[in-house]
Structure 1
């Protein structure tokens, strides 16, 4: 069976904490998909594995601790 290639047309630079990057690397060690594909799988399937109430609580805790960034300027 010939496997399809998933095109990834959107590109952006992402900054990660050491802990987040370490978790991404461990996932890559386990699944060998590369950072881009791992993020695609996680984000496109978030509703399948993340409890919405727990996810909401995590975002609220983050915002309480670090605040929310200001909206990006046009073109950013």
Structure 2
């Protein structure tokens, strides 16, 4: 029996997130049994396929309106 391939993921950054976001990530982990790094990779690599573009844009606009753009770079679309 052959082992499944492992996708090598180099460490890029530490992540800080809200409790709500982390709870969603833990829920996905419980469903798919993948580590946080793989879950985020799947979500981000497939974002155009799984997210409605205008809805995603509105979500970012709401976030920036409420919290600002912490990096100081607004409108990086």
TM bucket, shorter chain:
0.7 to 0.9
Q: Which runs of 4+ in 1 moved over 3 A?
A: none
> Considering only aligned residues, what root-mean-square deviation do their CA atoms show, in Å?
1.6
Cα deviation 1:13-68 (Å, max 9, x = unaligned): 00010000000001000000011100000000000010100000000000000000
TM-score (norm 2): 0.85
Task: State how many pairs are aligned.
Answer: 72
TM-score (norm 1): 0.86
Consecutive unaligned residues in structure 2, runs of 5 or more: none
